[in-house]
Chains A and B, each alone.
Chain A
């Protein structure tokens, strides 16, 4: 039996029997594609209808943006004026008013560094040097005392620069420490392995707040009598110790994912331990775990808000101070929503980047 179909190399033009995607068709296939879904859609729309218009009225229509506190109280809508009226304090804390250009420049440098590092083409040896130089410049700008800049004690640093610095310095310092801990945990030497395991499990088992308490109350006791270290530095140390344990676990996962063949190939070439790790294993392992590492950075950024509890003036504490002011009392929702927006924008940008990076690295 022989059946030979028509010889035709071009599609004979029969179009797909799909109605051109208009709004109606999209609605039908996405919102009303079954009885259950239709009912749910209607319920959800009703719910949104009850919530959104009143919110829009409160937040935008009746709201005041640049008024005084008394005018706000007389009105019914949201008092967004609390933000512009107190913006400098919320963002910069107790930093001297006329010197605000310095933390601003420091933050611009930091954001510039972050954007520069986003591009994977820039990931080479000089990146580390650029970061160190950038952080050094930031430190000098904030601290002053050199190059004719008036010194500003670190207990006056506050607001957004403090939040950014605690997270970024924390992450930068915790990263090498975390790598060492991960390597130590995988070591065959029992003493070193035990020390690392004890450290990692202890730190991961306790809440960050207990470590912050420790930094506020116990670290002064650990230091020789008479030597005082600034509260911010102590809190920074606690954040570094905390983050390092989590980085250690993530890096450990990366080390485990590298096949034994890689280790063996490096050894058979005659590389010693340090060379093996530095040239063969770590470059691969660290690359694999970049996405969860960015996740830790995002968590560190959010966790800096906890320094409120030990009375450090990060951006959350400065906001709460403003709310404690009798004239602006009672407008907490507006202030917190503003803060939430700042955090959301930063964290969303970071997690978006992490997701994109993961896709790129996987393909």
Chain B
């Protein structure tokens, strides 16, 4: 192509065709024009902004980050008070966003996978209910759902004094959820260590079983044993420690519950809305992934004599995951971006805190740039992961 183009331009020049018709010259000209337009537009916007900022006496620069924030934040994973700096407040916001994203993603994947499989069930009732759920939840805006759940907490649930207790130890009221949780105990750290050790042991077991199968052909029930070890070891530690079972039970004191694990109505509504909404999209992705594997694959596997469980594990799932993971990652990113709507229901995520900061300092440009920067980082990380995953898993073709 390269040689063809230069040959053409040589011919053109020989025939005296004008300079401007040369392909390469044209390309350069267009690009210069585009860059000039963009540059001019940028300059125009910039100079307007500078003039306006001066006129309204708004400060510029990121110096405000070191100043005192002077506003409270409803919930935080780290220690924070109004005397802390803006940058600490923003950090609290980021951590809150990550908290919602992390818990939300885990719950969404579980619920979405369950719904996707239910949609393919041979039981008509289950399949239809799943289909109705998926269709309805996809068609109602996420913000409306968030408002609904928020009003559910505040308008429908009663005051803590008359809290609903659907299960022993779980209290639902308009101050949120309160769960009974085990009281912190030394044994817990040991149990966590035992669980990690159990994971290692399961990994080693897996490798040993695979080598054994390669050598002798016998199959070892790795999955069942691994599960047993990962659950059994911490359980044994718990027994050895004397089976400590003192619970921190939420108790009504004054106007709210003390003790136990408290989930604020804002966090609860945000989580509920995000998970229920995104799970509908994940369900469709899972369903499409499973259905994408042609019938022929199942038939070929059956014809060889593989059992249904083996067919699923060795033939269907590896191929289905390739189809499912990329759009699933997009949905996870969508969930993170949608968590920015927390500002509408008062949960102090990053956008919410940044918004308060903007209101107080008046420095909108810096504030909005920070918001965009943080979310661009999330998107970039997700893209990198997806590219890496796609390269690793791409089916080898001609």
Roughly how many angstroms separate A115 CA and B230 CA in the complex, as a whole number?
Answer: 59
Stretch from B231-239, B293-301, B334-342 forming part of the interface with A? B334-342
Q: With A and B bound together, what is the CA distance between A357 and B256 in angstroms?
A: 54
Distance in angstroms between the alpha carbons of A225 and B52 in the assembled complex: 6
- Asked if A214 meets B31 with Cβ closer than 8 Å, knowing A40-B126, A207-B375, A339-B144, the reply is no
B38 at the interface (CB under 8 A from A): yes
Least CB separation from B118: chain A residue: A40
Q: Contact: B140 with A218, CB < 8 Å?
A: no
Residues of A contacting B49 in the complex (Cβ-Cβ under 8 angstroms): 221-222
Tell whether A4 is near chain B: CB-to-CB under 8 Å: no
Interface centre among A188, A220, A298 (most CB of B within 10 A): A220
> Which parts of B297-346 form the interface with A (CB within 8 Å)?
337-338, 340-341, 343-344
Instruction: Tell me, rounded to whole Å, the shortest Cβ–Cβ distance linking A25 to chain B.
Output: 13
> Does A33 count as interface, using CB distance less than 8 angstroms?
yes
The answer to whether the Cβ of A84 comes within 8 Å of any Cβ in the partner chain is no
With contact pairs A41-B125, A44-B129, A225-B51 given, residues A206 and B365 touching in the complex (Cβ less than 8 Å): no
**What chain A residues lie within 8 Å of B139 (beta carbons)?**
298, 302, 343-344, 347-348, 351
Q: How far, in Å, is A129 (CB) from chain B's closest CB? A: 29
User: A18 vs B95: C-alpha distance in the bound complex, in angstroms?
Assistant: 62
- B371 lies within 8 A of A210 (CB): yes
B17 within 8 A of A: no
In the complex, A262→B132 CA distance in Å?
42
Q: Are B122 and A336 in contact (CB under 8 A)?
A: no
A308 and B345 alpha carbons, distance in the complex (Å): 12
Q: Is the CB of A214 within 8 A of B368?
A: yes
Contacts of B136 on A, CB cut-off 8 Å?
A: 344
CA distance A286 to B365 in the complex (A): 37
Task: State in angstroms the CA–CA spacing of A210 and B365 once bound together.
Answer: 11
How many chain B residues touch the partner (CB < 8 A)?
A: 55
Task: Check B155 against A332 for contact (C-beta < 8 Å).
Answer: yes
Contact A306 B368 (CB under 8 A): no
Q: Are B364 and A309 in touch, CB under 8 angstroms?
A: no
B379 and A316 contact, CB distance less than 8 A? no
CB of B142 closer than 8 Å to a CB of A? yes
Given contacts A189-B27, A207-B337, A37 and B379 within 8 Å (CB-CB): no
Cβ–Cβ contact B351 & A302, under 8 A: no
**In the complex the two chains form, is A210's CB within 8 Å of B343's CB?**
no
Inter-chain contacts of A333 with B (CB < 8 A):
148, 151-152, 155-156
Chain B residue numbers with a CB within 8 Å of A45 are: 125
Tell me the chain B residues, 30-47 only, with Cβ under 8 Å from chain A: 30-32, 34-35, 38, 45
CB-CB under 8 A from B192, the residues of chain A are none
**A221 interface neighbour in B52, B138, B379, Cβ under 8 Å:** B52
Closest CB-CB distance, B8 to chain A, in whole Å?
13
- Is A340 a contact partner of B144 (Cβ separation < 8 A)? yes
Is B48's CB under 8 angstroms from A33's CB? no
Q: Is B272 an interface residue (CB 8 A)?
A: no
Which one of A92-100, A139-147, A190-198 contacts B?
A190-198
Interface assignment of A209: CB less than 8 Å from any CB of chain B: yes
A interface, over-half SS: helix
B175–chain A nearest beta-carbon distance, Å: 17
- A209, B343: Cβ atoms closer than 8 Å: yes
* A190/B31 in contact, CB under 8 A: yes
CA distance A213 to B363 in the complex (A): 13
Considering only residues 360-380 of chain B, those with a C-beta below 8 Å from chain A are 364-365, 368, 371-372, 375-376, 378-380
Q: Can you list, as one digit per residue, whether each of A196-225 has a CB less than 8 Å from chain B (1) or not (0)?
A: 000001101111111001100110111111
- In the complex, whether B55 has a CB less than 8 A from a CB of chain A is yes
Q: Is B355 touching A213 in the complex (CB atoms < 8 A)? A: yes
Q: How far is the CB of B262 from chain A (nearest CB, A)?
A: 23
A-B pairs, 10 with minimum CB distance: A205-B379, A332-B151, A347-B139, A30-B124, A191-B31, A302-B141, A207-B337, A207-B340, A305-B141, A217-B364
- B: residues with CB less than 8 A from A are 27, 30-32, 34-35, 38, 45, 48-49, 51-53, 55, 121-126, 129, 135-136, 138-144, 147-148, 151-152, 155-156, 337-338, 340-341, 343-344, 351, 355, 358, 364-365, 368, 371-372, 375-376, 378-380
Q: List 30 A-B contacts (CB under 8 A).
A: A30-B123, A31-B125, A189-B27, A189-B30, A191-B32, A192-B31, A192-B34, A201-B379, A205-B380, A206-B379, A209-B340, A210-B340, A210-B375, A213-B364, A213-B368, A214-B368, A218-B364, A222-B48, A222-B49, A223-B48, A305-B144, A308-B143, A316-B141, A331-B155, A332-B151, A336-B144, A343-B144, A344-B140, A347-B140, A348-B135
Q: List residues of A whose CB falls within 8 A of some B CB.
A: 30-31, 33-34, 37, 40-41, 44-45, 188-192, 195, 201-202, 204-210, 213-214, 217-218, 220-225, 298, 302-303, 305-306, 308-309, 316, 320, 330-333, 336-337, 339-340, 343-344, 347-348, 351
Further pairs besides A191-B35, A210-B371: 8, Cβ < 8 Å: A192-B34, A202-B372, A206-B372, A207-B351, A218-B364, A224-B48, A225-B55, A336-B151
